[in-house]
Amino acid sequence: MNASYRLDLAGPTVDNLIIAWSRIGATLAVALSILPASALAHGLVGKRFFPATIATDDPFVSDELSLPTISSVRTNASGDEPASRETSVSGEFSKRITPDFGISLGAEHQHISPDGQPSIKGFGNVELGLKYQFYKDEAHETLLSVGLGWEVGGTGSKAVSADSFSTFTPTLFFGKGFGDLPESVPFLRPLAMTGTLGVAIPGRASTTTMTLDPDTGDVVSNVEQHPHVLNLGFAVQYSLPYLQSFVKDVGLPAPFNRMIPLVEIALQKPLDRVSDRRTIGTVNPGVVWAGRYMQVGLEAVIPVNRQSGRGVGAEVQLHFFLDDIFPHSIGRPLLESQL
């Protein structure tokens, strides 16, 4: 986030938002600290390591940095909008306040190249998040969390159509490893699934814009409805490290012994206010390689229908495990133990 970007902000400044968010986080941390919890490192539940996934948010709370996530997809023409290629570079920093409660800060720079028209670029809205891990069963490799995302309206560029209003997304997160399957199906035990279920709640039901009709000279009002949107995400993954370490050492050499093939599905469905409520989304097959301090993810992005895009896009992500890189400083929860 650079200075020139901050000057473009139409709403609250990023600095003020960070301070406000920190205060909210600290207050909630104290409130939540009376609940039972135990320390958990990035993505580990019992012997299961859940990698960070690209299209669906992770169910765990951790100290981590995704930087960068680069995505490139093509969209179809819609109404007056021409088809375009959309490329984004984003980053997200997540910080544990307590072992089970964390906050996050994300930003994205978008580059949109419409067919036959000049390119548009700018930052999208800043995204803040809270997440609390309320259930963990190590024996059954199960994890449940709840979170609240806040897309901060007015912090992005109008050039890339960043909303001037905020959107809040309460979300339920889950993670389930299948290491507890019977010994009779050993090669299914490296399977795991993570997912999210959330509803995006716009802070404004509609936006009315007034334009001048160049032919008649009349003032015309255009009303854009902002629906509630159901967000669903799933990631089905097969952990080769799990296979090697806990099921059967099949002799995979590096780098394959640290790879986790996966398929992500991310869907969005408008629930109200608009007539076209078709589901849009993508199916993203790919692979994550997880090392000691970082992981790399690479996925294809396949639209589920015409409304969702055109052709096959791609996403790549570099993700750092801050709890391993800085185990004695910023990689630890701010409040180490429960009060």
Partner 1 sequence: MILLRAIGAVLAACLVVQAHAHAFLDRSEPRVGATVSAAPGELTLRFSEEIEPAFSTVKVLDAKGKRVDKADVRVDLADRATLRVSLEALGPGVYTVVWRVVSVDTHVTEGDFTFQVAR
Task: Give the binding site for partner 1 (CB under 8 A).
Answer: 2, 41, 44, 46-47, 49, 65, 67-68, 89, 91, 183, 186, 241, 244-249, 292-294, 318, 320-321, 323-328
In the complex, minimum distance from the CB of residue 120 to partner 1, in angstroms, rounded to a whole number: 19
Among residues 67 and 148, whose Cβ is nearest to partner 1? 67
Per DSSP (E only), the strands in the chain are: 44-45, 48-49, 64-75, 84-98, 101-114, 120-123, 127-137, 142-151, 167-177, 191-202, 206-212, 219-225, 229-238, 259-270, 280-290, 294-303, 310-321
Q: How far is the CB of 295 from partner 1 (least distance, A)?
A: 12
Cβ at position 58, least distance to partner 1 in Å = 16
Q: How far is the CB of 47 from partner 1 (least distance, A)?
A: 4
Which residue, 201, 246, 191, 243, is CA-closest to 226? 201
* Radius of gyration of the chain measured on its C-alpha atoms: 21
The tokens describing 224, both together, are 């854009």
Q: Which is nearer to partner 1, 291 or 311 (CB)?
A: 291
Cβ nearer to partner 1, comparing 69 with 171: 69
Q: What is the longest distance spanned by two Cα atoms in the chain?
A: 76
> Judged by CB, which is closer to partner 1: 83, or 89?
89
Closest distance of CB 91 from partner 1, Å: 8
> 129-132 — which CB contacts under 8 Å span 24+ positions?
129/57, 129/94, 129/103, 129/104, 129/105, 130/24, 130/25, 130/28, 130/101, 130/102, 130/103, 130/104, 131/61, 131/101, 131/102, 131/103, 131/104, 131/173, 132/28, 132/32, 132/61, 132/100, 132/101
Task: For partner 1, give the closer residue by CB, 308 or 317.
Answer: 317
> What is the closest distance, in whole angstroms, from the C-beta atom of residue 2 to partner 1 in the complex?
6
**With respect to partner 1, which residue has the nearer C-beta, 236 or 318?**
318
Q: What is the nearest approach in angstroms of partner 1 to the Cβ of residue 5?
A: 10
Cβ closer to partner 1: 190 or 270? 190
Contact 219, 242 (CB under 8 A): no
The answer to whether residues 112 and 120 touch, using CB atoms and an 8 Å cutoff, is: yes
